[in-house]
Structure 1
Amino acid sequence: SKYFEATEKVYDTLNAMYSIGVTADSKNGEIRDVLWDGPAYKAGLAPGMTLVAVNGRAFTPDVFREAIREAKGSAEPIKLLVKDLTYYQTYAVDYHGGLRYPHLERVTGTRDYLDQIIAPLK
C-alpha cells in the first residue's frame, strides 16, 4: 500500500502489524508493538526486543519484507534472531499469509457513500 509505505518512511517504522503482527523501528530494528495473539506474539516476541537477523541475514526492512513474502509459498517459519537486553535468541514465527495491509473494497450492490463524503463542497 502506498499509504503505508509513505507513513513507514515518515516515521522510520516497519509496519507488519497486519501480517505477522509487529511494528519495529526501521533503522535499528527495535520492536515497538506486537499484536496480541498474533503470529509474532505467539512466537514470543515483545516490545523492546531488537530484530538482529531474519532467516540468517542481517535485519533491514527489505530483508524482513522479503522473508514474509517468501514464507507465503513455504511451510518453513520465519526465523528471527532477536536481542533482548544482553541475550540473543532465535524465534520461529509461523506465518504464511504474505504481506497484508488494510484496504477498502466496495460491497457489490451498495451505494458509494465515500465519494459523497470526500467531494468538495458546492
Structure 2
Amino acid sequence: MAVTVRDGPNEQQRPYAFVITDDFRLWVNWWDGSKWNWSAQGAPSGRLIPDSVGVVTMKDDPNAFTRPYVFVIGDDSKLYLNWWDGKAWHCRPGHPARTRHRTPRRSPHHAKRSQRHAAALRLRHHR
C-alpha cells in the first residue's frame, strides 16, 4: 500500500509505502527527500494485523499538509486506523465496537493468504 504525502502546500510530494511484516506488525518506508527511512508502527494494543484494507491521504484545508491514513484489520476482525498528525503516529479502532466487520469477497489468492495468516495466528496462540 502506498501514497504520496506533502508536508506543506509548497513542498514536494514524498512516497510512503506501508507493509505488514511476517510478525503481523505495520511498518512504513518513507522518503525524506534524501534517503529512505523505516518506521515501526506496530499493531493495536494486544492485537496482531493479519490483513490490510488500504491507505489514503487527507488535507484539512488548502494550506494544510497531507496526512496518511492507513486502515488495517486486527486479529479480532475489527477495523483499525493508523495516521500521522504531523508530529506523531496514532492508532485507534476505526468503527464502533457494536458493529460487526464483514469481510468482503476476495480472490482465491487473498483467501489463501488469509488462511495462512489465520493458521500462523493459531500456532502463535497455542505455543
Same fold flag (TM > 0.5): no
- Compare the two structures and name the one with the higher strand fraction: 2
Instruction: Find the structure with the greater CA-based Rg.
Output: 1
TM-score (norm 2): 0.27
